[in-house]
C-alpha cells in the first residue's frame, strides 16, 4: 500500500477517479454529493457515468482528437437513466488529460492544447449534444445557427465559418464558466488544485472546501443561466458565508436542493481541480 504517488495510475485513471471524488465530496450545496440526490438524478448514476465516460479519457490519452474523445465520453456517460451527469466535467477533463499525457499540465500547456483544436473537434462537440440533454443558454444573437441544441445540424454552419473548438469556447466564455477555463488556460482550476494540495484531511473534504471557494469567488454560470445573474451573485455570497462552518454549509446544501439551485458549473470545476490534484500526487 502507498500514500505517495500512484505510478500505476494513468491520466485516464485519474480523470475517472476525479469524477468519482467530485460526486463523493460533501457538502457541495445544490449538487448531488455523497449525502444528497436530486429527485431524478442519483448518486449511483454519477458512478455509472464515470465508468461509462472512461473510453473517452482513454482515447484522448492515446492521442485521438479531443472532440471525438469528448463525444465518446459523453456517449458512454449517458448509459444511465438520469441524463446529464457529467457533460461539463468531461469538457474540462478531456483537454486536461491530453495535457497530462503530453507532459503539459500547466496553464501554458492547456493554452497550447486548446489552440491545437480543429473544426472537426468543434463538430464532434456539437454532436455530443445529441447524446444527452444539457442545460445551456441561448446562442450569440448574431449566430442563431450555432445553437448547440441543434447538435449535428449546426455543423455546416461551423464549417462555413471555419470555427475550431477553441473558437466555439471563446464565443461562450463570457457566460459559461467551463468555456472561460478553456480560454484562460484553466487558471481557476490550477489555483484551486494548489489550494487542495496545501489543504489537509481526506481529499473529499478538501474538494468540498474547494467547491465553496470557487463558488464564493465567482457566480456559477449554470445558476445564472437558469435563475438569472442576480440570483447567481446571491448564491456566491451565501457560499462565502458558510465557507468555514461545515454545519451551515450542510444546511445551505439542503436549502439549495429545496429551491432548485444547482451550481453545476462549479461542480465541473471541482472535478477538474480533483484531476490536477491527483496528477500532482494528492494523498488518498
For residue 61, the number of C-alpha atoms closer than 13 Å in the C-beta half-sphere is 17
Cβ closer to a second copy: 91 or 168?
91
Question: Which residue, chain included where needed, has cell 455546416?
Answer: 156
Shortest reach from residue 155's CB to a second copy, in Å: 22
CA distance 101 to 11: 6
Q: How far is the CB of 210 from a second copy (least distance, A)?
A: 14
| Residue placing its CB nearer to a second copy in the complex, 87 or 125 | 87
d(C-alpha 273, C-alpha 253), whole Å: 20
The mark string for 82-101 relative to a second copy (x by CB under 8 A, - otherwise) is xx------------------
- Considering the rule CB under 8 A, would residue 80 count as an interface residue with a second copy? yes
Grid cell listed for 48: 455509472
Q: Is 36 helix (H, G, I), strand (E, B) or coil?
A: strand
Distance in angstroms between the alpha carbons of the first and the last residue of the chain: 11
Whose cell is 494523498? That residue is: 283
Answer for which of 38, 41, 51, 139 binds a second copy (CB under 8 A) is: 51
Region 3-22 residues binding a second copy, contact defined as CB under 8 A = 3, 6, 8-9, 13, 16-17, 20-21
54 binds a second copy (CB under 8 A): yes
Could you give the CA distance from residue 8 to residue 227 in angstroms, rounded to a whole number? 43
Measured from the CB atom, the residue of 80 and 102 that comes closer to a second copy is 80
| Start-end of H helices in 63-118 | 66-77, 87-101, 107-115
Residues 116-175 that bind a second copy (CB under 8 A): 131-133
Identified binder of a second copy from the candidate list 28, 75, 127, 238, rule CB under 8 A: 75
Q: How far apart are alpha carbons 51 and 40 in whole angstroms?
A: 20
Closer of 44 and 255 to a second copy (Cβ)? 44
Q: Is the CB of residue 277 less than 8 Å from the CB of residue 193? A: yes
Question: Which residues contact a second copy by CB under 8 A?
Answer: 1-3, 6, 8-9, 13, 16-17, 20-21, 24, 34-35, 42-45, 47-48, 50-52, 54-55, 75-76, 78-83, 131-133, 202-204, 283-284
Amino acid at each position: 500500500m502507498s500514500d505517495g504517488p500512484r505510478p500505476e495510475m494513468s491520466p485516464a485513471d485519474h480523470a475517472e477517479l476525479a469524477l468519482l471524488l467530485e460526486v463523493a465530496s460533501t457538502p457541495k450545496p445544490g449538487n448531488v454529493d455523497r449525502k444528497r440526490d436530486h429527485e431524478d438524478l442519483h448518486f449511483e448514476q454519477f458512478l455509472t457515468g464515470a465508468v461509462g465516460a472512461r473510453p473517452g479519457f482513454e482515447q484522448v490519452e492515446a492521442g485521438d482528437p479531443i472532440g471525438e474523445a469528448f463525444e465518446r465520453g459523453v456517449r458512454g456517460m449517458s448509459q444511465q437513466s438520469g441524463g446529464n451527469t457529467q457533460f461539463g466535467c468531461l469538457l474540462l477533463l478531456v483537454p486536461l488529460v491530453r495535457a497530462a499525457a503530453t507532459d503539459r499540465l500547466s496553464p501554458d500547456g492547456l493554452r497550447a492544447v486548446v489552440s491545437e483544436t480543429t473544426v472537426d473537434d468543434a463538430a464532434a462537440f456539437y454532436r455530443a449534444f445529441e447524446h444527452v440533454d444539457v442545460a445551456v443558454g441561448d446562442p450569440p444573437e448574431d449566430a442563431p445557427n450555432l445553437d448547440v441544441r441543434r447538435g449535428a445540424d449546426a455543423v455546416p454552419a461551423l464549417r462555413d465559418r471555419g470555427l475550431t473548438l477553441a473558437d466555439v469556447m471563446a464565443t461562450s466564455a463570457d457566460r459559461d464558466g467551463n468555456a472561460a477555463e478553456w480560454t484562460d488556460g484553466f487558471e481557476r482550476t490550477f489555483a484551486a488544485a494548489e489550494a487542495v494540495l496545501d489543504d489537509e484531511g481526506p481529499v473529499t473534504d478538501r474538494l468540498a472546501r474547494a467547491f465553496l471557494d470557487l463558488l464564493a469567488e465567482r457566480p456559477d454560470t449554470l445558476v445564472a443561466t437558469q435563475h438569472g445573474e442576480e440570483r447567481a451573485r446571491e448564491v456566491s455570497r451565501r457560499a462565502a458565508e458558510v465557507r468555514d462552518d461545515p454545519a451551515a454549509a450542510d444546511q445551505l446544501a439542503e436549502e439549495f436542493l429545496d429551491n432548485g439551485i444547482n451550481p453545476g458549473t462549479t461542480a465541473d470545476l471541482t472535478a477538474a481541480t480533483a484531476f490536477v490534484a491527483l496528477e500532482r500526487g494528492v494523498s488518498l
